Amino acid sequence: MAGVAAVCYAVARPAWPFGIVVPTFVPPLAAAGLALLLAPDAAPVVAYVAGTLGTLIGADLLHLPDLRRYDAQLLSIGGAGVHDAIFFAGLIAALLA
């Protein structure tokens, strides 16, 4: 999960007015690759957990301080790019099973 969070933090960018944008296939491929490398016997489960939580932590939570520069009254966690990446992380994890 920490590896996926680090990758997501590196590639995610705040983009007004969309929120935080992340390339769609980077987090799921990172999660699947790390899961196959670090836990080949439990790769689908590890890829799912690392792909979903790693994306939320690395892309959204760690970038919250960057969003202070926007004068917004309301901020929501997760943009379309982050939600798409989480969906595809689940899909690729299911394909590993």
pTM value?
0.84
Find where tokens 């490398």 sit.
37
Q: List phi, psi (to 5°) of 15.
A: -135, 110
Using DSSP's 3-state secondary structure scheme, residue 19 falls into: strand
d(CA 40, CA 58): 23
pLDDT, the chain, mean: 86
Instruction: State pLDDT tens for residues 20-65.
Output: 888 889 999 999 999 999 999 999 999 999 999 999 999 888 988 8
Count other Cβ atoms within 10 Å, centred on residue 14: 16
